[in-house]
Amino acid sequence: MRIEERLGQMGIDLPDFATGPYYGTTYGKMKPHHIVGNVLFLSGHTPVRNGEVLHPGRVGSTVTVEQGYQAARQTGINMIAGMKYALGDLERVKGLIRCLCFVACEPDFCDVHLVSSGCSDLIAEVFGDPAGIGGRATIGVQSLCDRMCFETWAEVEIT
């Protein structure tokens, strides 16, 4: 099954990054991706939905693990939109290389991996095994821009 069909079946409607600047014009000079050979390097992707930050705050106090998971899932959707914007066709995705995940959290919150799984589970469901399963590490951080609770930094192998 084609990836776009799979997304349709899952009821996921990708944002179209071709119609607007990557996360607006307020973040400074940056671009959404860079391709060298068969590696797509994605810029930071975040839990923005319809122009709003999903579940802003810090996991462990103002954001629950389940909300963090949903924010990470939205980030995964945006990552796929970022891949489509970069590649034109999602069939060019050979496999996720790695995702380095950032969770804004309280110092005593150590279940950061449960939050990241919102992103990993989504990518795995869309692209299947093995293409949708990548390397991963998750770090609990002090803060992210605009009080986001999650952000990811990924590389993708492409054809």
Q: What DSSP assignment string belongs to 92-134?
A: GEEEEEEEEEEEEB-TT---HHHHHHHHHHHHHHHH-TTTT--
Three-state SS at 5:
helix
15, 44, 68, 76: which one binds a copy of itself (CB under 8 A) = 44
Find tokens 């066709």 and name the residue: 89
**Cis peptide before 130, with omega less than 30 degrees from 0?**
yes
73 interacts with a copy of itself by CB under 8 A: no
Say if residues 159 and 92 touch (Cβ distance below 8 Å): yes
Residue 148's contacts (CB-CB under 8 Å, 6 or more residues apart) are 46, 47, 53, 56, 71, 104
157 interacts with a copy of itself by CB under 8 A: yes
11, 18, 30, 52: which one binds a copy of itself (CB under 8 A) = 30
Return the range that interacts with a copy of itself (CB under 8 A); candidates 3-11, 12-20, 73-81, 128-136: 128-136
92 interacts with a copy of itself by CB under 8 A: no
1, 11, 25, 29: which one binds a copy of itself (CB under 8 A) = 29
4, 27, 49, 87: which one binds a copy of itself (CB under 8 A) = 27
Site residues for a copy of itself per CB under 8 A: 27-34, 36-39, 41-44, 58, 95-98, 100, 102, 104-114, 116-117, 120-121, 124, 130, 132-147, 151, 153, 155, 157
